[in-house]
Structure 1
């Protein structure tokens, strides 16, 4: 009996996960990679350093042309791709920058998903085709200045007045906020928390960009203020009450982060591997030293496990059996390990590790924000703790 020789795995794909992807999944991954390489990679360090993204709407249109906005949704001009294809796209986007993945994630998994899942048909038809093409940008208003992990205590209020709603309140740390055409706003009403699709040109609605960030600098982050914003009842989401609405959207976004964080990790791992193979000290490449190889291997082991976890969750999501607590596990583990990979890469690059000539410090800084948003480490830990013990420990 003869056997074929075992093919050596790629240094950045030790488990040969690529062999388990379908042709369609590889095509999505490769097309997103080409877009990032052509439109974003040549400029991202400058955008990050300057804290602004010129031509953001043109970039959104290019993302829409490729079908990346709301890509996992069906109908209304959305691409209807699989969860794994969406995850692979998130991985490639965040391998370029977390801010780029945030733009796509907030547009598709938060704003578009909220409208797609919870709005009436008229609102869906009004916004989703425009958002899928990138002609309209959306944001998702849940977090408030005094209420992040405890959205049930939000102070934004919506009250009925005739056939309209009047919204008052403030939301903060809102990605895309000051460039958005429509804001999904969650507010307390007399019958519980409700969602609203609010056109941002409505009188009384203002959005101010948040400056002086040291993380996610190539991303628009804003504060939203609603002062007597009047909208018709048709803009209210008709059938969802309580935190079920916003939490269902957050679960979609957290799934994408599970993949995206591994993109940032891969970028830093690749930079560290390339650098240490080329950089010489004591007459030898840094990669020839045992301690360097140990760091590289430990980074790659955690990256490989995180990628396998994301892939497993994606297959479960496509099968319709993915539980929210499993998404918490993915987000908790993969962002935490990605940060450690980026920090270790920083040490291998020495002083060059803090230069924007390399992607490492940018990814490490961005991931500090990703670690906190869409659920902190503490909150995801307690979600899993409650699942294990049956005992809630949030209060």
Structure 2
């Protein structure tokens, strides 16, 4: 479909991204699925290709560009190449806002060069065993002792958890103040007392190294505080729209890939002497999916432009996230159905896309939470 939101510069970047995924990721997808994580070498090659940290100022290894269309292109080309997920989205869609927008100049000098060249893989640690969407319910604490914080607690469902070198931890610096007592503290994973738990055994996204993280009397200098003390909840809320925009981008890109694969399959697969796509019921399914995906793409593109203009609201991002992830699941499920028994075989890419997609309706805020946010914005 005609989109019209990309410039020649974006299309050149798209060629670079596609070349990287075709050469450095797609050939290793099965290997990474078996290993449960991608290689560190791939991260460094992504940095060398300019696919990381472009928001960082030039003096710290980036390009000083804040334009979410570049984020979108990386996600789209990852899926179109048939690659499994590599956690670039955590780095670019989520962590860039914190490291570029909230860090001091001294912190930027320490972290941004490695962030942009792939030497430093990052993760953000919010969720806990007893606290998911309710951030105010976290139990991890960071007690100020002299010129250090001492961190104790446990985090779970942490993307990039096994590979990360720098973890942005949401912790209670004032345990009695509820959400007003949360701070964000960057923890280098080499610090004594930090440990990683098991790689979580997920339904899908096998190559994504999602893990548990543990903090036992981890001492971190106060200079690792990101943003303002006891303002962490508000920093998180301010940046959640970009995270949900990233999830929506994944949703549309994955659904587009699944529909492309299914359209080709419907042309080639024959039953009763004719391609299965020529049966009216299947032709109607394909038409419905294409139309819904085109509508979702327009919706997403407009939200991307709003984000670039600094105008995307939390409510708009919530609506986008729940709508696109639900459409994604509807399309993926139908695409698998159209593949028949072969769709249930792991050797077919549509099977991986199907199982990888289910979590999209959960992380970043469940569909139910997203609808509640939209409803509240309407005065209910």
TM-score class normalised by the smaller sequence: over 0.9
- Asked if the contact 1:167/1:226 (under 8 Å) is kept, the reply is yes
**Counterparts of 1:285 and 1:372, CA distance in 2:** 36
Match of 1:347 in 2: 337
Trace 1:179-258 onto structure 2 (pairs within 5 A): 179-190=163-174, 192-239=181-228, 241-258=231-248
Consecutive unaligned residues of structure 2, counting only runs of 5 or more, are: none
- Paired residues of 1:271 and 1:358 also in contact (CA < 8 A): no
TM score, norm. by length of structure 2 = 0.93
Equivalent position of 2:26 in the other structure:
41
Per-residue deviation, 1:330:
1.4
Match of 2:88 among 92, 104, 107: 104
| Higher RCO (CA < 8 A, seq sep 6+) | 1
Where does the alignment leave 5 or more consecutive residues of structure 1 unmatched? 1-12
Deviation digits for residues 128-184 of structure 1, max 9, x if unmatched? 110111011111111001100101110000111111110000000101112111111
3-state SS of the aligned residue for 2:85?
helix
**Mean Cα displacement is larger for which, 334-343 or 91-100?**
91-100
Give the alignment's TM-score, normalised by structure 1. 0.89
Q: How does 1:295-310 map to 2 (within 5 A)?
A: 295-310=285-300
User: 1:88, CA displacement in angstroms?
Assistant: 2.2
Would you say the 8 A contact 1:145–1:171 is kept in 2? yes
Distance 1:97 1:140, change over 3 A: farther
**Alpha-carbon distance in structure 2 between the residues aligned to 1:123 and 1:20:** 34
2:156 is paired with a residue whose SS is strand
Task: State the Cα distance separating 1:72 from its structure 2 match.
Answer: 4.1
- 1:71: which partner in 2? 54
Q: Is the 8 A contact 1:95 1:267 kept in 2?
A: yes
- Determine the structure 1 residue equivalent to 2:279: 289
Q: Which residue of 2 aligns with 1:332?
A: 322
Match of 1:6 in 2: none
Q: How does 1:54-65 map to 2 (within 5 A)?
A: 54=38, 56-65=39-48
* 1:367-382 equivalent positions in 2, closer than 5 A: 367-382=357-372
| Cα 1:66–1:270 shift into 2, 3 Å | same
The answer on whether the counterparts of 2:157 and 2:200 sit within 8 Å (CA) in structure 1 is: no
1:315 match: secondary structure: helix
State the shift of 1:268 in Å. Answer: 0.6
Paired residue total: 372
Q: CA deviation at 1:73?
A: 4.6
